[in-house]
Amino acid sequence: MDPAQIREYLEFYRDIGFDSIYRLSNDAPAALLPISMPSPLPGLAPDHDTLDQIRLDIGDCKRCGLCEARTNIVFGSGNEKASLVFVGEGPGADEDDQGLPFVGRAGQLLTQMIENTASKEGIPIRRPDVYICNVVKCRPPENRTPQPDEMEICGQFLFRQLETIRPKAICVLGATAMKALLNTKEGITRSRGKWHKWRDIPVMITYHPSYLLRQYNQQAKREAWEDLKTLLHFVYD
Ligand code: SF4
């Protein structure tokens, strides 16, 4: 079942009054399938949703297993009326510590990329002018990739954030965020640098800054800078 179908099922059960789901374990024989703790479904987006309301609805979230090892929920930061939103995969150690997205080394690189590209292109924006968040709001243990069910559950909050801000464009950072938003099987090297759409909002895909931190990825770094240039001109010209 693909994520869109799973979402449809979840919305259907929520609409008819269910407020919890049970997940079956894959590790046990069929006859002995244990039932895990119920996962409360994300709340329906109210009319006139706001970021404050979404954060309230997240609360002290325990809707997926990522709650177990987190220190802080990393909701998102930046301009709540931004024309541009960056979406990464999930918090790392520094982000988990501070409760803010993209504050570690990868985050510093992202800041540099945004501010240096904007300044070279004569576009008067700085990092606080955009909004930055992740697909999952809690740090996956050992920085592993979030599981599909974790992205599916937490992704509902991301979608509400995007619908609330309604930016002129979204920049997707890396393959995991790309899968969460675009449900594509294409690799990032083929998808990056091109325009896609999430609902009716244009999406530019580029590499995750943590990938660009590796020394041998100089070519990817140049490509990411080009992607950003295209994106910034589209949004701010
Ligand atoms: S990752 Fe998202 S859904 Fe999972 S516990 Fe954290 S806030 Fe809740």
Q: Average of pLDDT values for 6-17?
A: 67
Atom number of ligand 1 nearest to Cα 64 = 4
Q: Decide if 233 contacts 199 (C-beta within 8 A).
A: no
Q: What is the pLDDT of residue 34?
A: 39
State the pTM of this model. Answer: 0.84
- pLDDT > 70? residue 168: yes
Residues 6+ apart with CB under 8 A from 56: none
Cα angle value 168/99/126 (rounded, 5°):
40
Q: What is the pLDDT of residue 94?
A: 97
Measure 116 CA to ligand 1 centroid, in angstroms. Answer: 33
Q: How far apart are CA 150 and CA 46, in angstroms?
A: 22
DSSP 61-75: --SSGGGTT-SS---
Q: Average of pLDDT values for 203-222?
A: 91
Q: Which residue's CA lies nearest to atom 8 of ligand 1?
A: 61
Q: What is the pLDDT of residue 16?
A: 63
SS3 85: strand
Residues 6+ apart with CB under 8 A from 66: 90, 136, 137, 138, 139, 140, 146, 150, 154
Measure 124 CA to ligand 1 centroid, in angstroms. Answer: 35
Q: Is the CB of 137 under 6 A from ligand 1?
A: yes
What is the average pLDDT value for the chain, to the nearest integer? 88
- pLDDT > 60? residue 178: yes
Atom number of ligand 1 nearest to Cα 150 = 4
Q: pLDDT tens digit string along 107-149?
A: 999 999 999 999 999 999 999 999 999 999 999 999 999 999 9
Q: Is the CB of 153 under 6 A from ligand 1?
A: yes
Q: What is the pLDDT of residue 31?
A: 41
Atom number of ligand 1 nearest to Cα 157 = 2
Q: What is the pLDDT of residue 23?
A: 59
Q: How confident is the model at residue 183 (pLDDT cuts 50, 70, 90)?
A: confident
Q: Which residue's CA lies nearest to atom 4 of ligand 1?
A: 64
Measure 173 CA to ligand 1 centroid, in angstroms. Answer: 19
Q: What is the pLDDT of residue 30?
A: 42
Measure 154 CA to ligand 1 centroid, in angstroms. Answer: 5
For the chain, percent of residues with pLDDT exceeding 90:
76
- pLDDT > 60? residue 37: no
Q: pLDDT tens digit string along 47-91?
A: 789 999 999 999 999 999 999 999 999 999 999 999 999 999 999
Q: Is the CB of 58 under 6 A from ligand 1?
A: yes
- pLDDT > 50? residue 2: yes
Q: Is the CB of 135 under 6 A from ligand 1?
A: no
Measure 56 CA to ligand 1 centroid, in angstroms. Answer: 13
Q: Which residue's CA lies nearest to atom 6 of ligand 1?
A: 138
